[in-house]
């Protein structure tokens, strides 16, 4: 993981120490505080990474890497006084990007060859997010959407996951990615347009829905 991730200069909009800041400060010398910090954010980070990868095993491995990096660099976080949640998601985002750089060829999935069983094989390690009660149709739609998202450039995939799966605001995404809010909005627009094109080409959406503005 690049060292500059831990030196990122996100602006803090308040001088008041919130719960996270107090926990982080205590966690540097108190293992119980570190455990509380871990418990508070493990599931959100695991969920975020899972939404990015659609692979439970990979998500668990990357989440472990995230927290290893976090606790190794807590001292730097305290000095910079940046929003902990944004810092944590930024490290997680970098982990996902690093993973895809290393596994680009292995993780590129094409739906066009699904009739020969390749799509089924690609799904064997995936865990569908919808509840069992939602039925197989919802689970399949979820997998198709994520397969399409894997075709997007990482910058588009990241902002879409943060906005629509993690329910982050544009300002929060800006803090996590280190980019301007206008850039985030542009990436969301282009990423969604590209995602729509892919789903139309695959026959998931009707042709008329793929018309560009």
Three-state SS letters, the chain: CCHHHHHCCCCCCCCCCCHHHHHHHHHCCCHHHHHHHHHHHHHHHHHHHHHHHCCHHHHHHHHHHHHHHHHHCHHHHHHHCCCHHHHHHHHHHHHHHHHHHHCHHHHCCCHHHHHHCHHHHHCCCCCCCCCHHHHHHHHHHHHHHHHHHCCCCHHHHHHHHHHHHCCCCHHHHHHHHCCCHHHHHHHHHHHHHHHHHHHHHCCCCCHHHHCCC
| pLDDT tier, 76 (very low <50, low <70, confident <90, very high otherwise) | confident
How far is 62 from 20, CA to CA, in rounded Å? Answer: 22
90-104 pLDDT per residue, tens: 999 999 999 988 876
- At residue 77, the pLDDT reads 78
**Mean pLDDT value across residues 36-57:** 93
- Tell me the domain boundaries of the chain: 1-9+16-108
Please give the residue that has the higher pLDDT: either 37 or 128.
37
Residue 105 pLDDT greater than 80, yes or no: no
Question: What mean pLDDT value characterizes the chain?
Answer: 77
Residue 109 pLDDT greater than 80, yes or no: no
With beta carbons less than 8 A apart as the criterion, state whether 81 and 21 touch. yes
Please give the residue that has the higher pLDDT: either 174 or 146.
174
Give the HSE-up count for residue 190: Cα atoms under 13 Å, Cβ half-sphere. Answer: 12
**Mean pLDDT value across residues 168-195:** 94
7-34 pLDDT per residue, tens: 444 444 443 357 888 888 888 889 999 9
- At residue 101, the pLDDT reads 84
Give the HSE-up count for residue 80: Cα atoms under 13 Å, Cβ half-sphere. Answer: 18
Place of tokens 């930024």: 90
CATH 3.30.1330.10, applies to 1-9+16-108? no
- At residue 135, the pLDDT reads 54
**Mean pLDDT value across residues 83-94:** 92
Residue 168 pLDDT greater than 70, yes or no: yes
How far is 62 from 139, CA to CA, in rounded Å? Answer: 23
């Amino acid at each position: 993981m690049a060292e500059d991730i831990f030196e990122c200069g996100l602006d803090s909009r308040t001088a008041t120490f919130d719960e996270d800041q107090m926990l982080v400060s205590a966690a540097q010398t108190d293992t119980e505080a570190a455990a509380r910090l871990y418990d508070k954010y493990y599931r959100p980070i695991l969920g975020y990474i899972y939404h990015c990868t659609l692979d439970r095993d990979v998500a668990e491995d990357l989440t472990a890497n995230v927290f290893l990096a976090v606790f190794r660099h807590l001292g730097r976080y305290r000095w910079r006084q940046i929003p902990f949640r944004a810092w944590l998601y930024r490290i997680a985002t970098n982990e996902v990007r690093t993973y895809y750089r290393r596994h680009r060829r292995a993780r590129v999935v094409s739906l066009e060859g699904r009739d020969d069983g390749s799509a089924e094989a690609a799904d064997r390690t995936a865990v569908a997010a919808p509840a069992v009660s939602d039925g197989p149709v919802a689970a399949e739609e979820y997998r198709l959407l994520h397969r399409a998202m894997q075709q997007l450039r990482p910058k588009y995939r990241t902002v879409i996951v943060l906005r629509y799966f993690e329910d982050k605001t544009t300002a929060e995404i800006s803090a996590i990615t280190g980019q301007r809010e206008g850039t985030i909005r542009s990436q969301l627009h282009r990423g969604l347009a590209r995602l729509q094109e892919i789903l139309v080409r695959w026959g998931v959406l009707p042709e008329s829905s793929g018309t560009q503005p």
